[in-house]
Structure 1
Amino acid sequence: MLLLFKPRDAMYLGEGTLPFGKYEDTSEWQPITKSLEAGAERFPEKTMFRVGNPEGDITESYTYKETNEWANRVANGLKDEFGVKKGDKVGMYMLNCSEYVISIIAIHKIGGVQVPINKDEKGERLAYVINYSEMKALVMDPGSVPFIEEIAKDLKGLEVIFMTGDPANVPAEIGGIKTLPFSSFDKFSSDNTGVEVTTQDMERCMFTSGTTGMPKGVARNHGGVVLTVRSYLQQQGIRSGDVLMSILSLGHANAQVMCLFSAMGAGATAVFFPRFSASSFWKWAANCGATSINMLGAVAEYLWAAEPSEWDKKHKVRIMLGSPAPRNLPEFQERFGVRVIDGYGSTEMGMVLWKDPEDHRPGSSGFPMEGYYVELRDPADPSQVMRPFWDPYENPVPPDEAKGLLYIKPLIPHTTLNEYFKDERRTREAFDDDGFFNSDDLFARGIDGRYYFVG
């Protein structure tokens, strides 16, 4: 299939080159934390990330040098004192905070596998994620103590818990599990760990919502982070002077890859808040200097429904990723003075479809990104590939005959789903014999080459 749109390779829409060379030479790709280490040397005093409180005030700020050194202390502590080695699972169960950011980076640096846990998980499901993932250590906030106490007797392999907050309030154990303050890492070396980590190593085991059963663990490698970061920098035009803001949980791939890691890749700044507030959203964005923000689900609808405010255009946000984009896109962009870019991705595959910022076609999720080959197949007979015939310019609503299941074939090794963790059956069912992943999402493809999400 001919890709009608290919992202720029040598230069992205911002300033400078993309991280780690060209698509054609992925052997030069390195884990994204190498960009943090480079930034700590090249611009040590530049702000790497900030964290706000639930009221929207920025309460913490860390430079590239401070971020790298703090993450190194945590990484060296995990490795040297607590025996966390390459491939070991380390969980995180907390609201957005500076320790969450540092834990993610530290786990990367020693080749561990991060297991972020949705804060909505409780009881049996929470115990399932901790046990099934083979988690060795867990980082959590004080608010999570009752939920861990409730299931502690059912936890099998968890050896140690690190708790954020005031060290004086950290108990010696929670449900019989050794517990230490997160500040215990402060005594360790701030030098880079020296552990060799490649883009072929497993980076995360991120559990899906599991609405029809227990959550599935999506296992992916470091190469997937690099691929999505490169795509994000290209499509959003992120520059080193940008400030990327997220109100999404760091337990979600969007907040991690398209805020934290993309900021690293561009030498930019990331900002995280622990919650979403529709009424205060634009005020928070203005106060932290945000220039790029991501939206998921119904966020755009909540923003539109909020009472008009003096802050609606009193900010520096120039571009937003909306997945999906608001249904009233022109009016939304006019009211808030932003450009909204649509796209499509998943926890398993990363960002597969993306619109160019200059593509104003309404309702479109854009074109396939470099690194993916996609097909639409007949839902009644998935062996049949559907050919485009629908003209979205003449008829904005696609007929049922134009709607098909999106099948995705990764073209670059180590960039998408490796497996559903320890679940050979589900992994086998997700891919066909030719290596295509069934997204289970319906799209229509117009004769213009664009893909349109329909359900």
Structure 2
Amino acid sequence: MPVVESVGTTDLSIGAWLAAVAADPARAMAEVVVEDERTDAAGLLRDAGAVAAGLLALGLRTGDRVAVLTPARLASLQAWFGIAGAGLVEVPLNPASGALLVRHCLTQSGARVAVCAAEQVPLLAEALDGAAAVLEHVVVIDDGSAGEAALPDGVATSAFADLLGHAPVELPPVDPTSTAVILYTSGTTGPPKGALLSHRANVNLAMHTVELMGYTPEDHLYSVFPLYHSNARYCSVMAGLEAGARVLLHRRFTASGFWGICRRQGITAFNYQGAMMSILHKQPPRADDRDNPVRAAFGAPCPPEIFESVEQRFDVRLTEIYGSTEVSLVCEMPPQRRRIGTAGRESPIYHLAVVDEWDRPVPAGTAGEIVARPKQPGWMFDGYESDAAATVESWRNLWFHTGDRGVLDDDGYLTFLDRVKDTVRRRGENVSTWEVERVVAEHESVAQVAAYGVASELSEEEVMVAVVPAPGATVDPEQLLAHCHGRLTLFATPRYVRVVAALPLTPSQRVEKYRLRAEGVTVDAFDREAG
């Protein structure tokens, strides 16, 4: 497989791209399977056209926002491509989020319509309770019932099946540079930010992934990641359709059953994130570990100490990358050009630098902040929704500031060190410390809280909180974690709880989290997994 040294930019909207794929006999039958539901490019184009017509019939117009709140299913794909085809803006949300986070995203994005799974309607109702959202209509997937949850007065409901029943209409032209999706990144010192991504950025990411990985119609791709992340959306679903390959999506990762699934389904390539490779490597060795059809895997990070062992044990070649929602595939390390322990060299898409606090490039071997900017138009995000200050700050001096610290060597290979931004990366998921702190602080026994990441025995980090008890109160870690249950996703729920008399503060009363991180998991910390 040749190393991709240059790449062009394609000016297509998502709808125009899907139409081109469906019109190509070599790709029209490219299959996407979500759990046990299946479609192909031609069928997806047909269903997306019906959904687009149905949404426009609700009174939506170009640029209006549509939230999607559902676990991965066929309707997720139909909604995604229908929203894009109509020139609307999709706002995919994590269905396991708490009401606080959903309320923030709905309010900030100004979504007028939500496509929501029936089982998520109670969450949506809680998020809308007392919120200043502008939601007018909820389209319910499956049984069309909101159960016992009552949506606020003035919010209409209908069934997703009704959208699919609409006859095709002539859709408005869609500018490929217009916003296709708002993907919410994790909050750092404040609420999560909505990254505005264009049709052109999405399509080009999918096409470059195919070039990087060498996917063909003979490939069967596998992903266990959610459709509110760019990974599964553009590097699996759209990449698979672009290549004419088969794509299989599962909602959950099972370590014990993973390779059995790959064998039964004929999987040739899969995506990985976070601790997934560490977990697979920790499984008891089997005589048939190498007896699988997988040739390649795409993602990051695989710990360097097990990188070669994973490849040899499972007979698979890893392609590691570095990037983010805002700037995808900044660095690439394909098997033909690797330096294990690094994220590879700058990709054909982005210029890369490591800079000091004044944004001056630092010498090779010197740590600094990782910054990037595209080599061609139409590749990266266009700003943060309703947050001009954060957009300008991230783009100061004409570089996108990743908030990550790293080192470039003399040959241009990047080594990731840690995060400047106040966020935690746990098992492939970015955890909003803002959300964790807000939820923990709601408990009556807590006066102050700081959430931060500490080292994990698997990979990346675990979530830890240090809490100061309210006057006269006693913090029971188990009761505090019970309070978090249902208010936070499982991956965001703290593993460690430490009760302290005071938090370390700067003169301006900001928490010095670097001191807490440096102390790590202390002997007085409660461990949820041990408990």
Same fold (TM over 0.5): yes
Tell me, yes or no, if structure 1 residue 154 matches structure 2 residue 137. Answer: no
Aligned to 1:373: 351
**5+ long unaligned stretches in structure 2:** 419-531
Aligned match for 2:408, one of 418, 439, 445: 445
Aligned to 1:404: 368
Tell me, yes or no, if structure 1 residue 49 matches structure 2 residue 12. Answer: no
Residues 336 and 298 of structure 1: CA distance in aligned 2, closer, same or farther (over 3 Å):
same
Deviates more, 1:342-351 or 1:441-450: 441-450
Residue 407 of structure 1 aligns to a residue whose secondary structure is strand
**Which residue identity lines up with residue 430 of structure 1 in the other structure?**
S
Aligned to 2:308: 330
TM superposition shift of 1:311 = 6.3
Q: Is the contact between residue 273 and residue 300 of structure 2 (CA under 8 Å) also seen in structure 1? A: yes
Aligned match for 2:114, one of 121, 126, 138: 138
Tell me, yes or no, if structure 1 residue 7 matches structure 2 residue 1. Answer: no
**Which residue identity lines up with residue 125 of structure 1 in the other structure?**
L
Distance (Å, rounded) in 1 between the aligned partners of 2:347 and 2:334 = 10
Aligned match for 2:199, one of 201, 222, 238: 222
**Which residue identity lines up with residue 439 of structure 1 in the other structure?**
T
Aligned to 2:178: 201
TM superposition shift of 1:235 = 1.4
Q: CA RMSD in A?
A: 2.3
Distance (Å, rounded) in 1 between the aligned partners of 2:225 and 2:287 = 24
Structure index of larger Rg: 2
Aligned to 2:478: none
Residues 120 and 210 of structure 1: CA distance in aligned 2, closer, same or farther (over 3 Å):
farther
Residues 406 and 169 of structure 1: CA distance in aligned 2, closer, same or farther (over 3 Å):
closer
TM superposition shift of 1:101 = 1.2
Aligned match for 1:30, one of 12, 25, 42: 12
Q: Using CA pairs below 8 Å that are at least 6 residues apart, which structure has the higher relative contact order?
A: 1
**Which residue identity lines up with residue 105 of structure 1 in the other structure?**
F
Distance (Å, rounded) in 2 between the aligned partners of 1:233 and 1:348 = 20
Aligned to 2:270: 293
Residues 318-373 of structure 1, C-alpha deviation per residue, up to 9 Å, x if partnerless? 11113112331010111222111111010111111111331242112112122321
Residues 114-159 of structure 1, C-alpha deviation per residue, up to 9 Å, x if partnerless? 1111223212221111111100111121221221222333343111
Residues 312 and 116 of structure 1: CA distance in aligned 2, closer, same or farther (over 3 Å):
farther
**Which residue identity lines up with residue 37 of structure 2 in the other structure?**
E
Tell me, yes or no, if structure 1 residue 241 matches structure 2 residue 211. Answer: no
Residue 135 of structure 1 aligns to a residue whose secondary structure is coil
Distance (Å, rounded) in 2 between the aligned partners of 1:198 and 1:364 = 38
TM superposition shift of 1:100 = 0.7
Q: Is the contact between residue 222 and residue 415 of structure 1 (CA under 8 Å) also seen in structure 2? A: no
Give runs of aligned pairs for residues 49-448 of structure 1, distance below 5 A. Answer: 49-52=32-35, 59-79=36-56, 81-155=57-131, 156-167=133-144, 174-176=151-153, 177-190=155-168, 193-309=170-286, 312-327=289-304, 328-378=306-356, 381-388=357-364, 390=365, 402-433=366-397, 435-448=398-411
Residues 410 and 424 of structure 1: CA distance in aligned 2, closer, same or farther (over 3 Å):
same
Aligned to 2:507: none
Residue 256 of structure 1 aligns to a residue whose secondary structure is helix
Residues 146 and 169 of structure 1: CA distance in aligned 2, closer, same or farther (over 3 Å):
closer
**5+ long unaligned stretches in structure 1:** 10-21, 53-58, 391-401
Q: Is the contact between residue 172 and residue 179 of structure 1 (CA under 8 Å) also seen in structure 2? A: no
Residues 47 and 287 of structure 1: CA distance in aligned 2, closer, same or farther (over 3 Å):
farther
Aligned to 1:56: none
Q: Is the contact between residue 291 and residue 319 of structure 1 (CA under 8 Å) also seen in structure 2? A: yes
Residues 81-128 of structure 1, C-alpha deviation per residue, up to 9 Å, x if partnerless? 112221111111111111111111111111111111122321222111
Q: Is the contact between residue 89 and residue 112 of structure 1 (CA under 8 Å) also seen in structure 2? A: yes
Distance (Å, rounded) in 1 between the aligned partners of 2:159 and 2:367 = 53
TM superposition shift of 1:426 = 0.9
**Which residue identity lines up with residue 144 of structure 1 in the other structure?**
Q
**Which residue identity lines up with residue 34 of structure 1 in the other structure?**
A
Distance (Å, rounded) in 2 between the aligned partners of 1:169 and 1:425 = 38
**Which residue identity lines up with residue 422 of structure 1 in the other structure?**
S
Q: Is the contact between residue 69 and residue 94 of structure 2 (CA under 8 Å) also seen in structure 1? A: yes
Residue 308 of structure 2 aligns to a residue whose secondary structure is helix
Distance (Å, rounded) in 2 between the aligned partners of 1:77 and 1:217 = 26
Distance (Å, rounded) in 2 between the aligned partners of 1:405 and 1:368 = 15
Q: Is the contact between residue 283 and residue 311 of structure 1 (CA under 8 Å) also seen in structure 2? A: no
TM superposition shift of 1:69 = 0.6
